Chain A
């Protein structure tokens, strides 16, 4: 009887732990995102809906980048990157594959500000101060993990259904 009680208590504990872990995972899966007001973006004001779409697509691009560089699969970039940005990332993946290297980019926080919206609405530029971790693996063995805080500049252009990242570049803070 005592054993049954202990077992059920243990089961409850396991379930609670699982719920806690699941909540933790679900809760921390998404990076913290802070968006600065887009009050001075040049020749064209940004509608709230446009701003939301741009930031959603930009954050999704980080997700794609992370998966692509970890799995060394350039095709994962196609949905969110275009032009020079896609080409440079694809070249990095090709080089990583050749060297047997993988990199894991885990973004924890973004502080995003739209800085330019072109008059005809065909490009939008943002700057993002990103906190992220980079883990380097060589032949599957972790070589180093570093925390990075960097300022990224991105230019996005519209496609049929979404914004895609055309320029993606970090600069010294």
Chain B
């Protein structure tokens, strides 16, 4: 069915082509207008006619007098796209086409920053993508400068300015070396949008524990657990103590409390005790009765 229609349409196009080309000159159209701008269309001839402006983004129909100028007010045609124009008069139809482009002035930004929470000191760990739109939600396809700025309570402010390509600009930033909240701002023209990024301590670094006798048992305690940038690892992080002795193994999981993990384990002579947090291994202690 579609092909039959296509075939008929093709025939119609071929049949009407010389006429359309001749008449296109009689319909004075702008080649291109900015979205939302006022414009006018001039026709020739006399009598009543109907003017159509048609595109996927918008359709307009006006009753007009041939030979007169038809004016369109600001905002009448505000969706960017390619528009066909048909002026159906009493004896013939004049046709043409023109483009509506997005306004150059950015009005809104679609700003996606990821992730919203990440460890400190991560190279290119934060990504920002901005699509630039005008006041009518048209994608601004003309190149525009977008500046990205990442700043927080600690660390230096990172700034990058990127030229949009087909309406989009993107960048990657490093997370700061100190934990805390960072503001990630994207700005184009007078428009800015902000996202909050939470920078949290990374994995523990240089995990160490000490052991001392406590009656018949061993008291184990880590030194304050910090990441490689010196940020304290949050309380609640699980630290695992493992004791291997002749004929067995014992494991205790302890959450960090005030930055340290403490526990007691049996004091087997010749036992080896190790400590770990997640995939990070700490030191090992071999316990021998004196």
Contact = CB atoms under 8 A, between A and B. Distances in A.
Interface stretch (B82-90, B208-216, B217-225, B230-238): B82-90
Interface in B86-120: 86, 88, 93, 95, 97, 99, 101-102, 112, 114
A140 B168 CA distance: 41
A92 B58 contact: yes
Interface string B127-151: 1010100000111010000000000
B73 interface: no
A122 B112 CA distance: 9
Contacts of B137: 84, 88
A106 B4 CA distance: 12
Contacts, number: 153
Contact of B80 (A99, A105, A127, A170): A170
Given A91-B58, A120-B114, A136-B86, A43 B172 contact: yes
B153 interface: no
B99 A43 contact: no
A95 B59 contact: yes
Nearest to A144: B86
A146 B95 contact: yes
Interface string A135-158: 110100011111110100101000
Interface residues of A, number: 52
B185 to A, nearest CB: 18
Nearest to B142: A171
Contact of B84 (A84, A106, A146): A146
B269 interface: no
Contacts of B55: 92, 170
B61 interface: yes
Interface stretch (B9-17, B190-198, B271-279): B9-17
B165 interface: yes
Contacts of B114: 119-120, 122
A123 interface: yes
Contacts of B168: 116, 125, 155
A144 B200 CA distance: 63
A85 B167 CA distance: 15
Contacts of A92: 55-59
Given A169-B139, A170-B55, A118 B50 contact: no
A118 B82 contact: no
Contacts of A88: 56-58, 79, 137
A119 B80 contact: no
Contact of A106 (B2, B82, B86, B112): B2
Contacts of B165: 115-116
Interface stretch (A7-15, A24-32, A52-60): A24-32
9 contacts: A89-B56, A95-B59, A101-B59, A119-B172, A122-B114, A123-B129, A125-B168, A138-B52, A171-B141
The 3 lowest CB-CB distance pairs between A and B, nearest first, are A119-B127, A170-B82, A144-B86
Given A92-B59, A169-B139, 9 more contacts: A99-B61, A101-B54, A101-B61, A115-B165, A127-B166, A143-B93, A145-B12, A146-B13, A169-B80
